[in-house]
Structure formats: structure tokens, C-alpha cells
Amino acid sequence: MSPKTNRKMSPVSLAQVVIDDGFWSPRIETNRIKTIPHEYKQCKDTGRIDAFDLTWQSGEEPVPHYFWDSDVAKWIEAASYSLATHPDPELDALLDEVIEKIAGAQQPDGYLNVYFTVVEPDKRWKNLGMWHELYCAGHLIEAAVAHYEVTGKRRLLDVMCRYADYIASVFGPNPDQRCGAPGHEEIELALVLLYRATGNRRYLELSKFFIDQRGQKPSVFQRELEHLSDEDARINRHFFDKKEGFDTSYCQDHLPVREQSEVVGHAVRAMYLYSGMADVAVETGDEELLRACRRLWDNVCRKRMYVTGGIGPSRHNEGFTKDYDLPNETAYAETCAAIGLIFWNQRMLHVDAEARYADIIEKALYNGALSGVSLDGEKFFYVNPLASSGDHHRQEWFGCACCPPNIARLIASLGGYIYSENSADAYIHLYISGQGELEVAGTQLIISQESRYPWDGEIEIKVDPAKAAEFGLNLRLPGWCRQARLWVNGEEMEIPPLLRSGYARILRRWQAGDVVKLDLAMPVERVVAHPNVSQAAGCVALSRGPIVFCLEEADNPVPLHRIVLPRDAELTAVYDKELLGGVVKIQGEALLVDDSDWDGELYRFQAANMRPYSLTAVPYYAWDHRKPGEMRVWIRSL
């Protein structure tokens, strides 16, 4: 079937988009000149890259880990995307060098994983549930497709086609093949990318096979566990529940995927699975898979997502617990999970053309994902809590280093999230200054944006078709915006008649030089959580536009839990070019619970007094860049 079988629109390629934006351009530049080189050095210094030389000997340190390959793969992907927008001969040559090492590590039968080649070669494919072989293969495939699409070079693509062919010979429905699935999903979406890059339907069928394996009874992971030694099986502790016994909800294996309606288990695994499900559904016309994706989206985004777009509250399983369970200081909210949420929502956006998906992309992008990297591009959060006592800080690297190269590849590929197209419509999802080249209504089209977003909601859009043509220009009206105005060539338009699934669709005969102006009102808003979110009861969070704010001790040198915000307190947004690289901060008159008259008492019958207090809140993504101290997103309210 056509790749567009179930998509109402298609993304505009990263190579066709130029970002020239006051907010994002500096971050993309920092990602290019600081983050990507920093991550290469970390991969080099920790042995991840040279491990592909296969020279490791027993007793040597460090011992290659079974997920190391994926860290290098994501670095390759980030570096490749960077080349798409900023050609760099030195980086291009470095990529070639690393790719040659990977190619040299491929075994005669096509297999490719450092750990199971040099450390424990007798354990290949023994523990799919927890040993990440297929996960690493997926990331290497993604890297290969990205590198090929950007550079046109087939070296890594050919290597990974050979590996995918080998995997397809091992796993499948035939009598001489193995049932099985990855405990950590990723290869499912990667195989669809490989299918799209090569046209080889075998890869799509293999992706569907892995998806269909989930939830079978008995579980493929339970059958696998029966053949593992006690030592090899100890890492599979996540597959057991004290009450239920064997339970693979940790890796979304509790039910067949088409029957699932509640998001469970490890958050990153879930997001990658749902992304793969959406991809397979698009390519095969599987409406049942899409219905499952929509049910799961409702559960994630309406009952289990933080106000920052973070997901996965529990450190125990790096994932989900139950509806409305959203603790703050103990929030896990892994950076990779927010990024996975973006991946999945972009896929659903192209299937349904509904702005609610782009709203989630924007929320996670500006808050729960962007918080994962420091302003200087060289320190990272793995975990993104919504409150801190002052002891949580970004690090230069991690033993499990999935998050740093993941945020790098997201930022490097940002241009691919801004625009979409179909035969009759152009879409703008994100308001990021620059331009995109589209093809709509049989004509080439350049769309240019200029704004100070996310600090200001005034956006100017220039539409320049190569020839006059009639088509719809769809502008997302963000879910956070409660008042908007729209002009075309100076004439104000009524928005309600234009609304289609959260987009204002302007259908007209467009000509070169047409100008659209969109004004999205950006007052400071108080966000209230659902009453079932006990951890936010009696509190509000502050937002303005797409940005969620927090209190930091650096601005508020008092115990933050004692700050109380009255409902009628005036809040003002002020741009401070000297603060945290230039941000809008929120200032307002609040109250502070006073302890000066307690005389050393622990309890008393009289209510505590309050005194006036001036609070300052800063963007959540930028916290932990000054002296260590408390932070909290949710503020007591009365």
C-alpha cells in the first residue's frame, strides 16, 4: 500500500526547512558546536566507539555493555541531521570513520552487536526481554536511514539492511523461525523507516510481526525465561508482580496491542511501541491498530501526563503507575520518555490532522524534553522532577546514557516538526521563525515565519507560491490560547468559521507576496490539575504561551512551600535578556507563611500568619543553572 494510506498529511523534510529563530537557532547552534562534539568525546572516552573494533579481552575495563551500540547510533543520527542544515566536512569525515568501525564489527552472518560478539557470544538472542539486542539494532537502523537520507551515502544503510535481513531470517512465523519480540521496543519503528528508505516490504512485515507478538499467551518472554539460568534471568525481575506472578506489563506485553487501552510499564518502551504501531498502521491500513493508538493517547495525555509534558512518574519501573498519580519531587519523567511522546504524537498528527497532537509536541518540546539539556549543551537530566530540595542536578554523562544523544537528535531534527503538506493543504504546527519549502496544489511553495515566539504571540507568515494556486493554509491555534486574531493581507478574518480540528484553515487563491498575521494572546495563566491529582491539590502552576514556569530558590530565598498565591494576585510577564540566556519571567504579589511568632512551638491552635511576598517564576526548562536550591512547579493557592 501507499505510504500515505492512512495519513491526512506528510511531514516536510528537514532538508527543506531553514530555522532562523531567536529562541531555537542558538540552541541548534549549541547542539551543533557543543553537544554533538561533547557526546562524541564521551562515547570515545568511555570506550563505546572503539568497542566496535572488537579488541576487548576478558578482564579488561571497561567491559562493553549490551546497550552501548544504541548510544553511538543516536550520536550518528544527531550528527547526520546536523549535516542536513549545517554542512561540515570534518563532522562528515568523523561520521565516515565511526561508520567504518561499525561496518567492521559486522559478523559474517550479518549479526551486529558488540557485547554479544566479544563479551558473551554464546548468549546471542538468549534474553530478548532485557538484553536490548533488537533495541540496539533499531537505533542503528534509524542512524543508517538518517545518514543515508542526509548524505546519500549507503555504507551504513547497506550494513543495516544486511543485519535486518539476518534478523528477518531468525524471527518470523515460519516453522524454521523463532517467535520473539524486543523487550525494549524500538526496532518496530526503525524497520518501517528502513522499509520507506528501501522499498523492501520484508522490513515492514518484520515490524508487524514483532508488534503482533506482544500479548500472546503464553508470553514470548515467559517462554524465553524458562530456558535462562538463574544468573541470566535475575535482570528479568521487572517481569514479576507480587500478586499476579509473571507479568510483562513492564514492556507492554500484558495484552495484544490491539486490545490495549491503558498505558502501562516502562514509559520509553511504551512510546516507541506506540510509534511503531502508528507507523505499521499507516503502511498496512490497519484501523484496529490506529484505534488502539487513539485509546492509549487518551489515557496518557488526559490522565497520566505531567503539566510539563513529562511522562512516567515512577522510578521503580521508569514508567507508569495509575491514573492521576503524578508525584512531584519523586517524578521520574525521563527525558527520553518526553522525546518518545513527541515522536508518537508527530505520527498521530499526520494520521488524524488534529491540533491536539501538535499541542502535546509543543508542550513536551518546550518543557519536559528541553529541560533535559543545559543551556551550555554539555550537561543533561535523565530524570525531570517537578520539585527539588536542591540536590538534583544535570550531569555530563551517565552510565546508561540514552538521554543525552536522544535530546541531541531531537534538536538537530527540529525542522522536520514545523510544517506538513498534502495535495490540497499546507500546515504550520510550530511557530518557529525561518522558512519551509512545500509542494501543494501542484506548485512549489515557500512559507516564511517571523516572530518572537514563545515570548510573544504575534506571528507574521509570508506565503510565496511559485505560481498562483488555490489551497488551504492551516494554522494551529494552540490549546493554551483562549483568544486569537487573524489577518490576511491586512484584512481581519473571523476565526470560528475557519476552524478545522484545531487549525484555522484559510482557503483561497494564494499569490506571491501574500501575508498572514496571527496574534495569539499570551496572558499569564494559572493551571489547575484534575481533582484526582492529589499531589497538586490546592496548588496552581503558572504558564504563559507554551512555557511552564517554576519557582527557584535563586529568585525566592525562602522555603518555597510557604509561598501562597492568592487567586486575585496580579501576575506580570517581563522579558529579562540577562537572565538564563534571555527569558520571560513572571513576577507577582503573593503571600508568605510567617513563622516569626511561633516561639519554637511545633503545633498550635491558631492559624499561621501571612505577610506580603513578591515572587519570581522562571521557565521550567531553564531551572538548575544557578546556585543549588529548591525548585517547585506547583504553588500553593488560596
Tell me which residues are annotated as active site. 318, 402
- What is the residue whose three cell numbers read 534571555? 582
Q: What per-residue string of b and e applies to 462-500 under the rule 16 or more CB within 10 Å gives b?
A: ebbbeeebebbbbbbbbebbeeeebebeeeeeeeeebee
- 621 within 8 A of 552, measured Cβ to Cβ: no
Ramachandran angles phi, psi of 341, nearest 5°? -60, -40
- 129 within 8 A of 183, measured Cβ to Cβ: yes
C-alpha cell at 358: 501538535
What SS3 state is found at 632? strand
Q: Enumerate residues 6+ apart whose C-beta is below 8 A from 59.
A: none
**Nearest CA to 541 among 289, 353, 363, 346?**
363
H or E element: which one contains 637? Answer: strand 635-637
Outline where DSSP puts E strands in 292-409: 387-388
**Nearest CA to 386 among 284, 510, 511, 529?**
529
CA 184 to chain centre: 16
- 54 within 8 A of 119, measured Cβ to Cβ: no
539-544 and 525-527 strand pairing? antiparallel
- 283 within 8 A of 205, measured Cβ to Cβ: no
When computed from its CA atoms, the radius of gyration of the chain, rounded to whole angstroms, is: 25
- What is the residue whose three cell numbers read 515492514? 204
CA gap 259, 241 in Å, rounded: 21
* Cβ-based neighbour number of residue 334 at 10 Å: 27
Q: Enumerate residues 6+ apart whose C-beta is below 8 A from 147.
A: 76, 77, 80, 95, 99, 153, 156, 157
Q: What per-residue string of b and e applies to 238-257 under the rule 16 or more CB within 10 Å gives b?
A: bbeeeeeeebbbbbbbbbbb
Please measure the distance between the N-terminal and C-terminal CA atoms of the chain and give it in whole angstroms.
Answer: 57
